[in-house]
Structure 1
Amino acid sequence: MKEELKKIREYLMTGVSYMIPIVVIGGVLIAFSIALSGVKAGEGAVVTNPMLKSMMDIGVAAFSMMVPVLAGFIAFGIADRPGIAPGLVGGVLANNLKAGFLGGIVAGFIAGYTARWIKGWKVHKNLRPIMPIFVIPLLTSLIVGFLMIYVIGSPISSLMTSLTNTLKSMSTGNAVVLALIMGAMIAFDMGGPVNKVAFMFAAAMIGEGVVTIMGPVAVAICIPPLGMGVATLLNKKKYTKAEQEAGIGAIAMGLIGITEGAIPFAAADPLRVIPSIMTGSAVGAAIAAIGKVGDHAPHGGPIVLPVVDNRLMFIVAVIVGVIVTALMVNALKKNVEVVEE
Structure 2
Amino acid sequence: MKEELKRIREYLMTGVSYMIPIVVIGGVLIAFSIALSGVQAGKGAVVTNPVLKSMMDIGTASFSMMVPVLAGFIAFGIADRPGLAPGLVGGVLANQLKAGFLGGIIAGFIAGYVARWIKSWRVPKNLRPIMPIFVIPLLSALIVGFLMIYILGNPISSAMTAMTNWLKSMSTGNAVILAMIMGAMIAFDMGGPVNKVAFLFAAAMIGEGVYTIMGPVAVAICIPPLGMGVATLLAPNKYTKAEKEAGYGALAMGMIGITEGAIPFAAADPLRVIPSIMVGSSIGAAIAAIGKVGDHAPHGGPIVLPVVDNKIMFIVAVLIGIAVTALMVNALKKPVIEEVEDESEVAE
Question: The TM-score by the shorter chain falls in which range?
Answer: over 0.9
SS of the residue 1:127 aligns to: helix
Write the deviation string for residues 157-199 of structure 1: whole angstroms up to 9, x where unpaired: 1110110000000101000000000000000000000000000
- Map 1:177-188 onto structure 2 (within 5 A): 177-188=177-188
Alignment of 1:44-83 (within 5 A): 44-83=44-83
**How far apart are residue 295 of structure 1 and its match?**
0.1
Give the whole-Å Cα distance in 1 for the aligned partners of 2:123 and 2:285. Answer: 57
One-letter amino acid matched to 1:88? L
**1:339 Cα offset (Å):** 4.3
Query: Which runs of at least 4 in structure 1 moved beyond 3 Å after TM superposition?
Result: none
What amino acid does structure 1 have at the position aligned with 2:34?
A: I
Residues 193-221 of structure 1 deviation map (CA, whole Å, 9 limit, x = unaligned): 00000000000000000000000000000
Structure 2 SS opposite 1:284: helix
- Shift of residue 338 of structure 1? 2.4
* Aligned alpha-carbon RMSD (Å): 0.9
Structure 1 residue 319 and structure 2 residue 315: aligned? no
- In structure 1, the residue matched to 2:283 is 283
In the other structure, the counterpart of 2:226 is 226
- Name the CA shift for 1:322/1:339 in 2 (closer, same or farther; >3 Å): farther
Q: Distance in 2 between matches of 1:337 and 1:301?
A: 34
Aligned to 2:338, the other structure's residue is in SS state coil
1:121 aligned partner: 121
Say whether the 8 Å CA contact 1:181–1:282 is kept in structure 2.
yes
User: Matches of 1:295 and 1:276 in 2, distance apart?
Assistant: 25
Equivalences for residues 227-306 of structure 1 within 5 A: 227-306=227-306
TM-score by length of 1: 0.99
* Structure-1 separation of matches of 2:33 and 2:210: 28
1:83 maps to a residue whose letter is G
Whole-angstrom CA distance in 2 between matches of 1:245 and 1:233: 10
**How many residues are matched?**
341
**Cα 1:11–1:306, aligned 2, differ >3 Å: closer, same or farther?**
same
What residue number does 1:332 align with? 332
Shift, 1:271, TM fit: 0.2
TM-score (normalised: structure 2): 0.97
SS at match of 2:83: helix
Residue 23 (structure 1) aligned with residue 23 (structure 2): yes
Deviation, structure 1 residue 3? 0.5
User: 1:147-166 CA distances to partner (integer Å, 9 max, x unpaired)?
Assistant: 00000111111110110000
Which residue number corresponds to residue 86 of structure 1?
A: 86
User: 2 CA distance for matches of 1:190 and 1:270?
Assistant: 12
Write the letter of the residue equivalent to 2:186: I
Residue 38 of structure 1 is matched in structure 2 by 38
Aligned to 1:190: 190
Change (3 A) 1:318 1:85: same
Match of 2:346 in 1: none
Any idea what SS the aligned residue of 2:121 has?
coil
